[in-house]
Chains A and B, each alone.
Chain A
Amino acid sequence: MDDIVLEMKHISKQFVGVKALDDVSLSVRRGEVHAICGENGAGKSTLMKILNGIYRADSGEIWLNGKLRNIQSPEEAHKAGLSIIFQEFNLVDTLSVAENIYLGRLREKGVKLNWRAIERRAEEQLKNIGAEIDPRIAVSRLSVSQKQMVEIAKALSYDANVIVMDEPSATLTDKEAQKLFSVISDLKKKQITVIYISHKMDEVFALSDRITVLRDGVAVSTAATKDTTRREVIASMVGRAMENEYPVRQGRRTDETVMRVTHIRRKPVLHDVSFEVKKGEILGIAGLVGAGRTELVRAVFGADPVSEGQIEIKGVQKKIKSPMDAIKNGVALVNEDRKELGLVLKFPIAENISICKIGSIVRKGFIQRKQENRIAEEYTGKLAIKSTSCRQKCVFLSGGNQQKVVLAKWLYADADILLLDEPTRGIDVGSKYEIYKWINRLADAGKAVVMISSELPEILGLSDRILVLHRGKVAGEFENEDKTATAEEIMSCAIG
């Protein structure tokens, strides 16, 4: 019964001045799904990078498949039977699916490659996990979930019996995630061990056999999933008990319409969408991926050109043709991809906060650096952004803190209408809660908030009103001021 396939003993790792892992021990049984939970910065990624040979542990041992291993590179990890699927896909976009699965290992015998055999093998690998993907097409043409399937096929092609998945569902739609889960249970049947790293409690509880929680580089608990509860796990992740997953709002919305969008069209993704949002209201936008949610807020923000449509702000018709127009009219957009679209990562926090209103810190053409720092300090303090100083570069911040910088930037820009696109994606539980509180606080302060989320509970827990999009059209609208809307009705509306 206790067939241990992977055992990490007393692993410690120190980075300059920071103890990333402190005496972490972990044992994983053959054929189980072992979830690892923890907030960002808890040491999950570091632990996995040590497993993969990207980092070397300062001390400790790794036993894999019954042998003591000294893993120094991903290659050696593969040889030892372990594969990791990282959040950022390890695929070469320009090459074919088959080639990606066998990247660097195409040759079987002789010098000449046998493409037919390679493609056949790849097809088999894909079929094994129930993925129907043509092995000949380029990876750049695949959807996110298809890429994930290719990653899994690639991992299995190394004959791995331990597969680590780092936040595999973060960028998947729910249907795609379901697919992934069924693949994982298939793997389990084949006695392949899966180490599953995730923030999402639902998934962890649905999938895993055991759960290990990391906090601040220490393994705080390991328990069988059926013997623990969601609340317990969250509590040990954040180190305190959480009363509610969603904070309760103090204020109420008003009747004053701040923004009215009418008949907006952008082919082929938006067909005649109209909506309005009131002062102090949180409007949730639900819908399937591809329903046009992101496209809608981007169009309203002027990030993409629209073919038709009017935008009225505080009763006055406005022409919003570029983000600059939007900002001038007090509209803000928090993008779903904060690293690529939200922040200039290699720039300091202060310069990211002042970015929308550089004019405000300029005197006679010169930037007042002191003033800029003062503003940055004010906002980092207000939002409790953890950083060494306000001139620290954003790359070095955790996901949650990065998102807070994005929020700070729009707060400083004095936006009245906030468009939030997946504001909590890839953020740990603790920071999520803080972001929720901020969303509430902003609404209480009289801002109008439009929030897109793929996590239905988030929409249900926060919004005053819910708009459901389906194939670029409004499919339904639900009152939710007293949190009375149900997941079922919204979902059936979204499916259309």
Chain B
Amino acid sequence: MKICKSVLNFFIREKILLALLVMFAVVSAAADSFFTVGNLSNLLIQVGLYGVVALGMTFAIIGGDFDLGAGPMVSFSSMAVALLLGRVGVVPAILITLFIAFCLGLCNGLLVAKAKINSFIVTFGSMVILQGMALTLGDGSPAATNHPAFNQIGALQIGRISFIFIIFMVLLLACHWILRYTQFGRNIYAIGGNYEVARSSGIHVDFYKASLFVLSAVFAAVGGILMAARVNTGHPTIGDDMTMTVIAGVVIGGTSLSGGKGNVWRTLLGIFVMMFLSNAFDALVIQPYIQRVIKGLIIISVVAIDSYSKTKIDVGDAGVLSKISKKL
């Protein structure tokens, strides 16, 4: 009985998870092509690709910021790694790509943390720059990754589960550990929760603020590399639309855009919901245009319900009763 109640409470709190499970069941029943091994493993690959980018974004959002340049970074790094492959081999190509992402992320980070420029402007600027750089690299056209070992990363499966998804899960566990059990992770919560308090508590806020953008850039680059391995090409615009999907996923999972709250499991949930929707719509043969409309309506209703229920709770707070003293 008690267990029933706590399970019920859990689902009332985790509305999104409940909704996902219900939708999952409905779609499985409604569309034959959905609940198949092939389709589900495909779904996991999508979750893995977007999820990796979302991990970086989770850091940024918990820290109270977001990175508009994450998607273009995916495009750029997919191009970079594809072009480097042929020249320097797999491992150096990956490392160099990650290093470039690290440097670019650091630039963003320093501009926000040290030069105190609004992060929207900085990441908007770097978004445009990265789009330009991705296009410049291949003169606007995609670059094939003619390297079997590299392409194997994208193709490899371990018992029907894609290697990409496994990489994502490993990174997710690592991020969970960092965010939960290290001083570094907790300080990111602190700066997102209240920047001034973090500063006056002796936390080097500049360092942590900058590291948000580094992490976001590096994770996006990992996403780009995996993307290139998956489709066997570096594509200069492949990730441009990912930014918004990823931010939406993180927020729908329940990580608050105002910062200081959330975790990677929520990100997993949110990204899963986003990817599930696209996949389910395809399985249900819904026209892509209508898919957009439905997706948009879902984002709107989730955020609206969430924030509406928040304002409701605030009102009822009655405060603590206590006496008037003789003193006064």
Contact = CB atoms under 8 A, between A and B. Distances in A.
A94 B260 contact: yes
Interface in A68-89: 73-75, 78
B6 interface: no
A234 to B, nearest CB: 16
Contacts of A90: 196-197, 200-201
B190 to A, nearest CB: 6
A177 interface: yes
A92 B193 contact: yes
Contact of A106 (B186, B197, B320): B186
Interface stretch (A187-195, A271-279, A284-292): A284-292
A322 to B, nearest CB: 16
Given A92-B190, A111-B182, A113-B181, A103 B324 contact: no
A39 B318 CA distance: 32
A482 interface: no
A495 B186 contact: no
Interface in A87-130: 90-95, 99, 103-107, 111-113, 115
Interface residues of B, number: 34
A143 B319 contact: yes
Interface string B312-328: 00011011111111111
Interface in A450-496: 454-457, 471, 487-488, 490-491, 494-495
B187 interface: yes
Nearest to B186: A106
A47 to B, nearest CB: 17
A268 B321 CA distance: 14
Interface string B151-181: 0000000000000000000000000000011
B39 interface: no
Contacts of A289: 319-322
Contacts, number: 126
A476 B192 CA distance: 47
B183 A290 contact: no
Contact of B323 (A103, A202, A268, A288): A288
A175 interface: yes
Interface residues of A, number: 52
B197 to A, nearest CB: 5
Interface in B290-328: 315-316, 318-328
B203 interface: yes
B319 A290 contact: yes
Contacts of B315: 304
Nearest to A143: B320
Contact of A174 (B190, B316, B319, B322): B322
A206 B326 CA distance: 12
Given A104-B187, A289-B319, A289-B321, A488 B326 contact: yes
16 contacts: A73-B202, A90-B197, A92-B197, A99-B186, A113-B181, A173-B320, A176-B320, A177-B325, A178-B325, A206-B327, A288-B321, A290-B320, A488-B326, A491-B323, A494-B323, A494-B324
Interface of A: 54, 73-75, 78, 90-95, 99, 103-107, 111-113, 115, 143, 145, 173-178, 202-203, 206, 268-269, 286-291, 304, 454-457, 471, 487-488, 490-491, 494-495
Given A113-B180, A291-B321, 18 more contacts: A73-B202, A90-B197, A92-B194, A92-B260, A99-B189, A105-B202, A113-B183, A113-B186, A173-B322, A175-B322, A176-B320, A177-B325, A202-B328, A269-B318, A288-B322, A289-B319, A290-B318, A487-B326
